Amino acid sequence: MKMETNNCKICNRTFKTQQGLHIHIKLKHKIGVEQYFNKYLKENYKRICPVCGKQFYDFKASPFSPKKCCSVKCIIIDFYGKEKAKPFLPFIETLINQ
Ligand SMILES: [Zn+2]
Ligand SMILES: [Zn+2]
């Protein structure tokens, strides 16, 4: 699989580095990197959580090693199983809601 992260999705220009691309989209297209990412690359990071079935976006992980679940809560349920994870869940929820 070819990585195409240095390819501008707006005008199709290719850059040697990702930084070069970021500078280009800021100067040439006058949008922020985050905006560009949300508009053109978000779909590449779409995942479905195997625990709750929720759709989520995993921006930090590389497309080759995706984060498995949508939240810390689901990661723990996935790891321990629903029954074993039960005692931990209220504690985790207070952490998340802080
Ligand atoms: Zn461009
Ligand atoms: Zn989930």
Give per-residue pLDDT as tens, 45-56: 888 999 999 998
pLDDT of residue 64: 59
Average pLDDT of every residue of the chain: 86
pLDDT in tens, 2-35: 555 689 999 999 999 989 999 999 999 999 988 9
Ligand nearest to the CA of 74: 2
CB burial string 48-72: b at 16+ within 10 A, e below: ebebeeeebbbeeeeeeeebebbbe
Q: How far does the centroid of ligand 2 lie from the alpha carbon of residue 27, in Å? A: 38
* AA letter at 39: K
Residue, of 71 and 67, whose pLDDT is higher = 71
Q: Where are the domains of the chain?
A: 1-45, 49-98
What's residue 1's pLDDT?
Answer: 44
Give the per-residue pLDDT at 38.
86
Q: What is the distance in A from the centroid of ligand 2 to the CA of 54?
A: 6
Q: Which ligand is nearest to the CA of 24?
A: 1
Task: Compute the distance from residue 51 Cα to the ligand 2 centre, in Å.
Answer: 5
Which ligand lies nearest to the CA atom of residue 73 in the structure? 2
pLDDT beyond 80 at 96: no
